[in-house]
A and B are shown apart, each in its own frame.
Chain A
Amino acid sequence: MENVLYKPFFNATREVFQLMLDISNITDKPLCVDGVCYPAGNVDIAIRVIGDMEGMVVYHFPKETSLKIVKIMSGGMEFNEVDEFVASAMGEIANIISGNVMSALSTQDITCDILPPEFIAPETIADASAKYKFVSGMQICSEIGDIDLNILLNVKSGAEKA
Chain B
Amino acid sequence: MLWKDKYNLGVEQIDAQHRELFRRVSDFLEVLRSSSSWEERVGKVNETLSFMKDYVITHFRDEEAYQIQIGYPEYDAHKQTHDDMVSYVAQFAAEYEQKGYDEKLIQQFAGKLLAWLIHHVAADDQKIGAYAKKKGV
Contact = CB atoms under 8 A, between A and B. Distances in A.
A and B part of one assembly:
yes
Interface string A45-67: 00000000000000000000000
B119 A87 contact: no
Interface size class of A (residues with CB under 8 A): 20 to 34
Interface in B85-113: 104-105, 107-112
B107 A85 contact: yes
Interface in A81-106: 83-93, 96
Contacts of B33: 74, 77, 85
Interface of B: 1-4, 26, 29, 32-33, 104-105, 107-112, 114-116, 118-119, 122-123
A22 B116 CA distance: 16
Contacts of B29: 74, 77
A92 B112 contact: yes
B112 to A, nearest CB: 5
Given A74-B2, A75-B1, A77-B33, A88 B111 contact: yes
Contacts of B109: 88
Contacts of A22: 4
A20 B122 contact: yes
Contacts of A83: 107
Contacts of B26: 75
